[in-house]
Amino acid sequence: MAEAVSPVRDVPRFEMRGVRKTFGATVALDGVDFAVRSGEVCALVGQNGAGKSTLMAILAGALKPDAGVMRIEGDAYTPRHPLDARQAGVAMIHQELSIAPHLTVMENIVLGVEPTRGGILRRDRIRQIAVAALTELGHQDIRPDAIAGDLSPAGQQLVEIARALASGCRVLVLDEPTSSLTHGDVRTLFDLLGRLKRQGHAIVYISHFIEEVKEVSDRFVVLRDGRNAGEGVTSRTRADDIVGMMVGRALDDLYPRSPRASGEAMLTVEDLVPGSATFTLHRGEVLGIAGLLGAGRTRLLRTIFGLEAVQSGRIRVAAYSGAATPHDRWRQSMGMLSEDRGGEGLARALSVADNLTVTRLERLGLPWPAFTVLPSRQDAAASRWIDRLAIRCAGPRQAVAQLSGGNQQKVAFARLLHHDVDVLVLDEPTRGIDVSSKAQIYQLIDELVAGGGHVGPPRQSGGEATARRVGADRRVGPKAVLLVSSYFPELLGVCDRIAVMSRGRLGPARAASDWTEHALLMEASGARAAS
Amino acid sequence: MIPRATAARLPRSGHRRRFLTDSEVAGVLGGLVAVSLIFGALIGPQFFRAANVELMARQTVIVAVAALGMTMIIVSGGIDLSVGSIVALSTVVVALVLRSHGPAVALATGVAASAVCGAVNGLLITQLRVVPFIVTLGTMLLVRGAAKGLADERRIEAPITWINDLLRTARDGRGLLLPTGIWLTVALAIVVALLLRYTRFGRHLFAIGSNERTARLCGVRINWRKFEVYTIGAALAGLAGVMEFSKLSVGDPTVAVGLELDVIAAVIIGGGSLLGGKGSVVGTLAGAAIMAVIQIGCSQQGLPNWVQQIVTGTIIVGAVALDRWRQVT
């Protein structure tokens, strides 16, 4: 597929040199070079957090680089905001499609650049533009009058690409374009990219999936930790080597590991759809699920926790089986940490205490009647977790929104500890938080599954009984942790066993010592199938 | 100097301090004082005479009682537009039942009928998954129609009972200084305030209103809570209907058209947010009182109705704008 490279001019269509970007103390990009020529598809690959998104945000004018130059066809390119980028001919197609579902296809294609005469829309001209763009794509099958929202995700994506072409784009950037497409639609998209390439378009293709990169791109550029970590001609490089460039480092010493003993089965999943998952999680172990974004890991966890419907298969939590709501799961002593901290994990306007205690307000009220809650006791319970986890905040009454990401995550985690659940379902527990909070969360996970599994706040002499009394009259054993992450070093460091999820299917779990970061990435990105 | 026991109770005293300095509640109470002082200055000291204050309190109760329920609904992120119709239905039901039964039965039936309307709202919202605005827009017409049908599109005369005295000060000096209805409102306000602040139900309403997805993740039974809050809210509207009946002494299916807007306005002026997760009983009562003061102040000052409407509208927009501004800074 990569043979048909068109004549290459000396000046790249688009280039970035020495681009640097810092956020506070974090260096997101440290002198990155990137270029794409006319008539080629250049893949940009790298693990989560490698700096791909930051680089593309700079290209799209959403972020300003601290240093570095950008040129389009040799001319300086300094977008001040996204509209500048669009006018300069940079078109981004994001994972989440941005069409207006209630408008027609042609209205979407000319959105924002509607041709008018004396303030009146020129419908004939709109139709011409739309038909021309769809013809260029080779998709005359899409009617310009169709309502965009009625189209399939693939069709909507085509409308977005048509919009990019209609606005005269010079660089087309596709960010994980296949994540919402079916297999056949992916095929169609690749054919289309091949055609656009031959027409002389410059295309940047961002993907986690090495098999796709192998198939669709002519060249690839690897980013790692905000730096260039290699590049090459795709057809002359093995998938294995690309993965090697993406990984490129050893495990650090972030992960404490106490002696652990695997106990009774706490969670048994059999042939569960969605996820095609079968596994058993025991007391005293951390079971990891590795996978890239969009692999279906979150959906699997949400189904287990009763947030989404079970299509088929069985879930058993300790002695309970059958359908369950999140309410039931908490009562069955299972708790979940959401990957979407701001949107789902926490009620941001509410206080630390409210967020932390909401699942277990029992015993935080008067002795009678049972439905009462005393804010002072909520605060007392929360204060202890604030001390125990060193959550930096003004006090239990402070709104969660005012805390830093790491401290917010600790509040969300403390909710599971306050409830004293036996099974912890953690979805990307360390995403977007600082290193010291990360280390603390690894430490907590280790304490939970090792020994007594008793992570309690420091007892205050003569303090009121709070959640700890709830825990104290139950049999205390090590906890069971189900951990989803797309950061593989963390999985290898924390887990006892790891299973890989790819394209919506969960593979068998194997001992963490049998895996390497390389092997996980090969499996998760489907590179194994490609090489 | 400070006994040691005090130190242990610090969190609680911290609470109280925060409540008093709560900028939202302080803001709306300040607004109430300001509006009263302005009319006091315009009209003179007779504006603050006991009889006049009582008049204003009586004016407030119908909106206030319904607004107590609306506060809970708005805190949970919902809205109920059928409140005015429920008030009308309640007056009709009370009047009809009074023909054959005693006042206690009539009162209970009126409230129960209203609660059923709220339960229907709750079921439709949670089972059809239609937004509350649309559902209650529909039931607003449905309940209004039902009230008219039940009353055969006429006013229902009813025998005089103690219900008619709810908003009246006993002339022979019996009773507790103020009409029973006002005491009832105060008692209900305390109950609702406690419910919001000191019960699982209340904490769950705030959680749902603040972020429904979080509430679901945390095992809050959202459908059940919504069902409860719409039912309780409508029951309180039904009680407001009993008060309305007390004022009218007939069952009138065409009364309280648009009352829901006054009720919502009271909650919003009192610091509630239509996005949910915010609202307080003290604020709502002050909001209702502000509207009553403007209404009575304007009429005693001899200002025409349109001035009163402009002032009320300005205050609603001003309250929300002030709230936005405070959030930004």
| Distance between B201 CA and the closest CA of chain A, angstroms | 8
The CATH homologous superfamily for domain A265-530 is P-loop containing nucleotide triphosphate hydrolases (3.40.50.300)
pLDDT digits (tens, 9 = 90+) for A349-403: 999 999 999 999 988 988 888 899 999 999 999 999 999 998 988 899 999 988 8
Strand order in the sheet with A40-45: A90-93, A171-175, A202-206, A40-45, A219-224, A227-233
Cβ-based neighbours of B191, under 8 Å, separated by 6 or more = none
Exposure string of B144-161, with b = 16+ CB inside 10 Å and e = fewer, is bebbbebbeeebbebeeb
Q: Could you tell me whether strands A480-485 and A423-427 are parallel, antiparallel, or unpaired per DSSP bridges?
A: parallel
| Distance between A338 CA and the closest CA of chain B, angstroms | 8
Instruction: Please compute the mean of the pLDDT values over residues A82-89 and round it to a whole number.
Output: 85
Between A440 and B240, the higher pLDDT residue: B240
- Comparing CB atoms, the residue among A331, A359, A375 nearest residue B197 is A375
Kindly list the residues from chain B whose CB atom is less than 8 angstroms away from the CB atom of residue A360: none
| Distance between B202 CA and the closest CA of chain A, angstroms | 9
pLDDT digits (tens, 9 = 90+) for A99-115: 888 999 999 998 877 88
| Chain B residue set in contact with A, beta carbons under 8 Å | 8-9, 11-12, 14-15, 18, 197-204, 206-207, 210-211, 213-221, 277-278
Instruction: Please compute the mean of the pLDDT values over residues B90-113 and round it to a whole number.
Output: 96
| Distance between B106 CA and the closest CA of chain A, angstroms | 30
The reply to whether residue B218 touches residue A359, judged by beta carbons under 8 angstroms, is yes
- Comparing CB atoms, the residue among A346, A350, A373 nearest residue B198 is A373
Cβ-based neighbours of A414, under 8 Å, separated by 6 or more = A356, A382, A385, A388, A389, A391
Rounded CA separation A376/B12 (Å): 5
The reply to whether residue A359 touches residue B219, judged by beta carbons under 8 angstroms, is yes
User: What confidence tier does B174 reach under pLDDT thresholds 50, 70, 90?
Assistant: low
User: What confidence tier does A452 reach under pLDDT thresholds 50, 70, 90?
Assistant: low
> A337: nearest CA in chain B?
B217
The reply to whether residue B207 touches residue A338, judged by beta carbons under 8 angstroms, is no
- Comparing CB atoms, the residue among B14, B198, B219 nearest residue A330 is B219
> A325: nearest CA in chain B?
B219
Interface test with B, best of A302, A356, A358 (most B CBs within 10 A): A358
| Distance between B281 CA and the closest CA of chain A, angstroms | 17
HEC sequence for B96-118: HHHCCCCHHHHHHHHHHHHHHHH
Interface test with A, best of B217, B223, B274, B323 (most A CBs within 10 A): B217
- Residue carrying the six token digits 């799961």: A329
Is A8 in the B-facing interface, judged by CB distances under 8 Å? no
pLDDT of residue B99: 94
- Residue carrying the six token digits 């009353």: B151
| Distance between A198 CA and the closest CA of chain B, angstroms | 47
User: What confidence tier does A4 reach under pLDDT thresholds 50, 70, 90?
Assistant: very low
| Distance between B85 CA and the closest CA of chain A, angstroms | 32
The fold of A1-89+170-249 is Rossmann fold (3.40.50)
Kindly list the residues from chain A whose CB atom is less than 8 angstroms away from the CB atom of residue B207: 347, 350, 354, 358
The reply to whether residue A330 touches residue B214, judged by beta carbons under 8 angstroms, is no
pLDDT above 70 covers what percent of chain B?
90
Kindly list the residues from chain A whose CB atom is less than 8 angstroms away from the CB atom of residue B277: 347, 349-350
Residue A482 corresponds to which tokens in the numbers above?
A: 């189900």
Kindly list the residues from chain A whose CB atom is less than 8 angstroms away from the CB atom of residue B19: none
Kindly list the residues from chain B whose CB atom is less than 8 angstroms away from the CB atom of residue A330: 218-219
pLDDT of residue B20: 41
Asked if A237 contacts A225 with a C-beta cutoff of 8 angstroms, the reply is no
The reply to whether residue B200 touches residue A395, judged by beta carbons under 8 angstroms, is no
Kindly list the residues from chain A whose CB atom is less than 8 angstroms away from the CB atom of residue B11: 376, 379-380, 383, 396
Asked if pLDDT for residue A24 goes beyond 50, the answer is yes
CATH of domain B48-316: 1.10.3470
Asked if A86 contacts A167 with a C-beta cutoff of 8 angstroms, the reply is yes
Size (chain B), residues: 329
pLDDT digits (tens, 9 = 90+) for A227-254: 999 999 999 998 888 888 887 754 455 7
The domain segmentation of chain A, as residue ranges, is: 1-89+170-249, 98-168, 265-530
Helix (H) or strand (E) holding B56: helix B50-75
CA B86 vs CA B140, B155, B254: distances in Å: 8, 16, 11
CA A312 vs CA A261, A273, A299: distances in Å: 32, 5, 14
Instruction: Please compute the mean of the pLDDT values over residues A27-38 and round it to a whole number.
Output: 91
> B11: nearest CA in chain A?
A376
The reply to whether residue A347 touches residue B14, judged by beta carbons under 8 angstroms, is no
Residue B317 corresponds to which tokens in the numbers above?
A: 């927009």
Residue in B34, B68, B59, B43 with CA at minimum distance from that of residue B319:
B34
pLDDT digits (tens, 9 = 90+) for A276-302: 999 999 999 999 999 887 788 999 999
Rounded CA separation A105/A149 (Å): 9
- Comparing CB atoms, the residue among B201, B207, B221 nearest residue A354 is B207
The reply to whether residue B11 touches residue A371, judged by beta carbons under 8 angstroms, is no
The reply to whether residue A350 touches residue B207, judged by beta carbons under 8 angstroms, is yes
| Distance between A261 CA and the closest CA of chain B, angstroms | 29
Kindly list the residues from chain A whose CB atom is less than 8 angstroms away from the CB atom of residue B12: 376
Q: Checking phi first, is residue B113 left (phi over 0); if not, alpha (psi -120 to 50) or beta?
A: alpha
Residue in A503, A14, A45 with CA at minimum distance from that of residue A237:
A45
CB interface of A with B, residues 308-327, below 8 Å: 325-327
pLDDT of residue B19: 46
Is A349 in the B-facing interface, judged by CB distances under 8 Å? yes
| Distance between B234 CA and the closest CA of chain A, angstroms | 22
Asked if pLDDT for residue B101 goes beyond 80, the answer is yes
Is A348 in the B-facing interface, judged by CB distances under 8 Å? yes
Q: Name the residue type at position A505.
A: R
Residue A1 corresponds to which tokens in the numbers above?
A: 């597929």
pLDDT digits (tens, 9 = 90+) for B245-257: 999 999 999 999 9
Query: How many A×B Cβ pairs under 8 Å?
Result: 99
Residue B33 corresponds to which tokens in the numbers above?
A: 């004082």
pLDDT of residue B176: 62
pLDDT digits (tens, 9 = 90+) for B216-235: 999 999 999 999 999 999 99
Asked if pLDDT for residue A7 goes beyond 90, the answer is no
Kindly list the residues from chain B whose CB atom is less than 8 angstroms away from the CB atom of residue A328: 219
The reply to whether residue A345 touches residue B206, judged by beta carbons under 8 angstroms, is no
- Comparing CB atoms, the residue among A326, A350, A397 nearest residue B210 is A350
pLDDT digits (tens, 9 = 90+) for B252-304: 999 999 999 999 999 999 999 999 999 999 999 999 999 999 989 998 888 89
Interface test with A, best of B4, B214, B327 (most A CBs within 10 A): B214
Reported pTM? 0.79
The domain segmentation of chain B, as residue ranges, is: 48-316
pLDDT digits (tens, 9 = 90+) for B18-72: 444 466 788 889 889 999 999 999 988 888 888 888 888 888 999 999 999 999 9
The reply to whether residue A347 touches residue B211, judged by beta carbons under 8 angstroms, is yes
The reply to whether residue B215 touches residue A344, judged by beta carbons under 8 angstroms, is no
Helix (H) or strand (E) holding B229: helix B222-248
Kindly list the residues from chain A whose CB atom is less than 8 angstroms away from the CB atom of residue B327: none
pLDDT of residue A322: 84
